[in-house]
Amino acid sequence: MSDGFLPSWRLKTEGVIMPDERLPVGQTLVAGLQHVVAMFGATALAPILMGFDPNVSIFFSGIATLIFFFMVGGRVPSYLGSSFAFIGPVLVATGATVGAPNPNIPVALGGIIAAGVLYFLIGLVVQMAGHRWVERLMPPVVTGAIVAAIGLVLAPIAINSASGITPDNANGTAFARWIALITVLAVGVIAVYSGGVMRRLPILLGGAIGYLAYFVAANLLGLGQAIDFSKVGQAAWFGLPTFQSPVFTASAISLVAPVAIILVAENLGHIKAISAMTGRNLDPYLGRAFMGDGVATVVSGAFGGTGMTTYAENMGVMSVTRIYSTLIFLVAAAIALLLGLSPKFGAFIGTIPGPVLGGLSVVVFGLIAATAGRIWVENRVDFSRPRNLITVAVALILGAGNFKLTIGGFTLDGIGTATFGAITLYHLLRDNASDREPVGSADAL
């Protein structure tokens, strides 16, 4: 990369597109749109679950991505969106019900800002003291476990959506499952068998095929609930989101601020995964990445948005497209800003059927979990050592089972327990003698 503040992006039209390379303008615009589509379902779902306005969160995901981009000097390809790690603590701090309008959003915002400040301070320490202590705290075996746990803890969300499970239909429908499978198959076929530009847009094109299949089957053949376009016609083309101001309370801050620790581990795992994908050492940018996330979370929380983090869904898109150009995320951020300012486009995105989003989530969340394997292989993690094996095994189950733990009024969900469980186990299990004994099966333990 160049020595300037920002890279000098070189034009490249085929093969792997590295962070300091770029595609032609048209392909860059479409690839940026694909990242917006990939993040939209989850970054809209998180605020909905917490009772926040999703339009505000979409708008600030664009702002947050721009902040991150400039904090890392355009060197780290990442999109920032609503963090799921905030859901549990925010609901507890505000006494809100999942999916219902939250009457205490200002109180939650105070806690979110406090988490952002703590996150920024951690990043500042990393930037000044170096990142080696973070690596010693969370080596590849731990970061891989955390990345895998993130993908696994999101799996039920994808499966519920793909199955058509709703509060009114706990069993889902066969129709929804078939649409989700068609979407998954479309993404796979495009990613593997298509060529040229199409091969770089499997998520976007696969989603379009799934949408079309749903429209034909439901709206034309009557096999499922038809897509309702009435809200699209009624919505305005442009309009400001509804912003809110924070209220700071000690109880909310004590509950929400510790989420910063989870975000550090989450972001570290993301950057390690991107390093493995690109073959480039991005560790020197860890401190700046943490600070970028922290500032983005503070700015979002100051106006009514959710806490922000580097987005795993977009990491999955990069994995399947092999396009890591950071310019794409400038485009994605601009599109997100326009979405946040366009109730009509937001209403159209809202028409995407749950089974289609579910099918896309199955692919993307699965790619997140699978990226852990790349981290372990690239770093030659030795799974014959009980210390490594037990650390990963426990983290995977805590994440997959979404194991929750309440400590001093602070509730950790599956991501949190898997994160702290992996870190704690790795550093507690220091028996060097047993570490040298190979493990051939569970009985060997």
204 is a domain residue: yes
Half-sphere exposure of 301 (CA within 13 A, CB side): 30
Tell me how far CA of residue 283 lies from CA of 126, 136, 274, in angstroms: 10, 13, 10
Please give the pLDDT value at position 445. 42
33 is a domain residue: yes
Amino acid of residue 442: A
- 445 residues of the chain, pLDDT tens digit each: 556 677 788 888 777 888 888 888 888 888 888 788 777 666 776 787 677 887 888 899 999 999 999 998 888 888 898 887 787 678 777 876 655 678 888 999 999 999 999 999 999 999 888 877 877 887 888 888 887 887 787 788 778 878 877 667 777 788 889 989 999 999 889 888 876 657 666 777 888 899 999 999 888 888 888 888 888 888 788 888 878 889 888 878 877 887 787 788 778 878 888 888 888 888 888 899 999 999 999 999 999 999 998 876 677 778 777 888 888 999 999 988 988 888 887 677 778 787 887 888 788 778 778 878 877 887 888 888 899 999 999 999 998 888 888 776 666 777 778 888 888 999 998 766 555 545 444 443 4
What radius of gyration do the chain's Cα atoms show? 21
Separation CA 418–CA 211 (nearest Å)? 35
313 close to 6: Cβ distance less than 8 angstroms = no
Q: How many domains does the chain have?
A: 1
Structure tokens at 261: 């620790």
214 close to 183: Cβ distance less than 8 angstroms = no
394 is a domain residue: yes
Amino acid of residue 432: N
10 is a domain residue: no
Please give the pLDDT value at position 99. 53
Query: Strand, coil or helix: what is 285?
Result: helix
6 is a domain residue: no
Range of the domain at 374: 22-444
DSSP 407: E
Half-sphere exposure of 191 (CA within 13 A, CB side): 23
Please give the pLDDT value at position 444. 39
Within 164-248, residue ranges assigned H as helices are 174-193, 196-199, 202-214, 230-234
Please give the pLDDT value at position 440. 46
Please give the pLDDT value at position 441. 42
4 is a domain residue: no
Please give the pLDDT value at position 428. 92
Please give the pLDDT value at position 406. 78
2 is a domain residue: no
Please give the pLDDT value at position 134. 76
Using alpha carbons, select from 3, 1, 59, 61 the residue that is nearest to residue 329.
61
74 is a domain residue: yes
